[in-house]
Chain A
Amino acid sequence: MSAAGPAGATGHVAGERHRRLRIAALWIASLIFVGYVTAPLVWLVSSSFQSEREITSKPPHWIPHEPTVQNFAAIFAAPKKDVTYETRRAADPASGGFIPSTAANLLPAMANSLIVAISVVILNLLVAIPAAYALAKIRFRGRDASIYAILTTRVIPDIALVVPFFLFIRNLGLLDTLASLIITYLAVTVPFSVFILTNYFEGLPDELDKAARVDGCSRLQTLLHVYVPLSLPAIVAVILFAFLASWNEFLLALMFTQTPNSQTLPIIVASFTSDFTISFSFINAAGVLAIIPPVLIALLFERYLVSGLTAGAVKG
């Protein structure tokens, strides 16, 4: 080292210092980033394991001193009780205070959310895969116009659909049914599914079609036996996006559902937040349940989601 001479040595030292500075800067930036993203979530989870007594301490206990699972227990083993005006007003002292008897509605709501989300996913695939194939691989008049039309429906604000949907659903007698949600969620999910799949099919070589044709495949067979197996990443992305959109949707569900028969998880959770007699530790437990599936999906399938979200962002 010393033999390298003064110039070489200082250059090396400067390089080394620069490298260390860069690592330090990246560490600090990463820490800030992780804090920004996780701190609110950690606090949500931490307070969901606290009792009403602990959650109201000042300053807050960042980590529960006496962790309890009573909030989750109330959800998973909710005793059947009649809700009367009095028990509601009295903050449900029978259930140990501040935990609503309506906690029992959470699991059925979760089941409703699942049924809706899975149905929406299946319908999305059935409708979007053939359409995307036609748009990507068949030359026909009106193709560009179709692409624009589908993309246009993607940007209709859901709040603008609420009034007509409500009257439409009411006239069909579908208010307070899961069907009303499944139908209307198609409006919010299908355009994006078509977009992702079209984008992906476009990237597959046209020769596939011709080869399959030579082997005597029909268009439908080509799609099912050649394109679908080759497009699994895009199909997975479509499944995830449609699932998340349905699982998270709030506005339409708020309008069309009225009873626990059809209320989805976000609706039940939201109904807790506007009741001042309910402990926030319990509300947070409900929130934790609502975010578990999306968080798992985000962490496990990050690659598929990122490719879907950024599809077409830079190719132009």
Chain B
Amino acid sequence: MTQAAVLARRRERLPFSHDERRAWLFLAPVATTLLVVAVFPIVYSLYISFWSIKLTRPHRQPFVGLDNYAQLLADPEFWHAVGRTTSFTVMAVTAICVIGLAVALLLNETFPGRKALQALLLVPWAIPYVANGLMWKWIYDSSYGALNGLLFQLDFIDKYMVWLGDANKTLPLIANAFVWKEVPLAALLLLVTLKSIPADLYAAARVDGAGALQRFLHVTLPALRPGFMLVIIYETMTAIRHFDLFFILTEGGPGDASHVLSWRIYVETFRNLSFGTGAAMSYILAIVTFALAYGVIRALGRNVR
């Protein structure tokens, strides 16, 4: 009998007993943590959303069932916030896809300095949203900002303009700050997808006489589909719940021009101290996110297995 065969038999005899129990023992810390910090809060949040809890009125907190939800759905302000969240998300995700694709195509080429560019790419991704927010707030500043300065020096404008304070420009400008920070992740996800395209496909297309543009349209773009799906779903989830930039850049203003859902949740909960409606609103947001995430989780779960 060879040594390998002996080992194989020894292995078979070694019982993997208690494994079921061992597995749960190993999972216990994570399970406990997530039960406390994720599952419990999200269930508790549902519970809160059925009550009228106002910290301004601590002793009377009646059960109101679905009233909080009914009130929200009947409130035109809520739908305006949904509309603003949607337009912010659509603008941001579209720009992220376009710029992310351009960056990914650049980094997919081989040239000296490519590695340095890829390291640089991670910088916007890594910095805090608060720093990103103050950076753009200063760039957009209507009196001394860089945007005014640059456009003025280039003669695009004859006098300094109001940027964030202009209700029509607020959302696109906040979206621009958001895009700058989110492009790196999108570009990386598209880049790995690009790298996974077999070279044979390009060779075959070349043999068939396809030019560069045709190869891009008929080989690259279709092959990028899974990467784009991931980017679109992930960035949509991130954009509809985004809060930090709205806080730093505009605090919902001017007027209510940047009153998106997440900002309304904050105002309702921590300024109006109406926890019941705040919880109901955040629950609606959570359900939408879950619906979107379902696709991602399916994909990621499949990969782990």
Contacts and interface: CB of A to CB of B under 8 A. Distances in A.
Nearest to B284: A160
A147 B305 contact: yes
B130 A148 contact: no
Contacts of A316: 226, 299, 302-303
B181 to A, nearest CB: 10
B127 A310 contact: no
Interface in B112-171: 113, 117-131, 133-139, 141, 143-146, 149, 152-153, 160
A210 B103 contact: no
Contacts of B111: 23, 26, 30
B248 interface: yes
Contacts of B153: 59
Interface stretch (B15-23, B76-84, B86-94, B202-210): B15-23
Tell me which of A40, A160, A219 has the highest count of chain B C-beta atoms within 10 A of its own C-beta.
Answer: A160
B130 A40 contact: no
Contacts of A214: 7, 10-11, 14
B90 to A, nearest CB: 18
Tell me which of B121, B134, B191, B251 has the highest count of chain A C-beta atoms within 10 A of its own C-beta.
Answer: B134
A16 interface: no
A187 B34 contact: yes
Interface in A130-178: 130-131, 133-135, 138-141, 143-144, 146-153, 155-168
A167 to B, nearest CB: 7
A159 B29 contact: no
A138 B19 contact: yes
Contacts of A291: 127-128, 131
A140 B270 CA distance: 44
Contacts of B136: 40
B297 A273 contact: no
A280 B102 CA distance: 33
B106 A29 contact: yes
B69 to A, nearest CB: 14
A190 B27 CA distance: 12
B220 interface: no
B188 interface: yes
Contact of B139 (A40, A248, A286, A310): A40
A159 B244 CA distance: 11
A99 interface: no
Contact of B303 (A138, A270, A312): A312
A49 to B, nearest CB: 14
A287 B120 CA distance: 18
B50 interface: no
A115 interface: no
Nearest to A305: B122
B117 A163 contact: no
Interface string A271-290: 01110000010011011001
A126 interface: yes
A9 interface: no
A255 B226 CA distance: 37
A286 B106 CA distance: 33
B230 A164 contact: no
B303 A310 contact: no
A33 B103 contact: yes
A313 B149 contact: no
A314 B262 CA distance: 32
A250 B128 contact: yes
Contacts of B191: 310
Interface string B7-41: 10011001000011011101101110110111111
Contacts of B278: 162-163
B63 to A, nearest CB: 16
Contacts of A146: 27
B188 A164 contact: no
Given A130-B26, A305-B122, A190 B103 contact: no
A167 B237 CA distance: 25
A295 interface: yes
B180 A40 contact: yes
B275 A163 contact: yes
B232 interface: no
Nearest to A268: B130
Contact of B29 (A130, A295, A299, A309): A130
Contact of A283 (B99, B109, B134): B134
Given A40-B180, A131-B30, A295-B123, 8 more contacts: A47-B138, A134-B26, A255-B270, A270-B130, A287-B131, A287-B135, A294-B126, A302-B122
25 contacts: A30-B111, A40-B180, A41-B123, A138-B23, A140-B19, A144-B301, A149-B34, A151-B300, A153-B34, A155-B290, A161-B45, A163-B48, A164-B40, A166-B269, A167-B48, A183-B37, A210-B14, A214-B10, A250-B129, A250-B244, A274-B251, A283-B138, A294-B127, A306-B122, A316-B299
Task: Give me the 10 closest cross-chain CB pairs, A-B, nearest first.
Answer: A134-B26, A248-B128, A155-B293, A131-B30, A187-B37, A164-B41, A298-B126, A294-B126, A160-B286, A312-B303
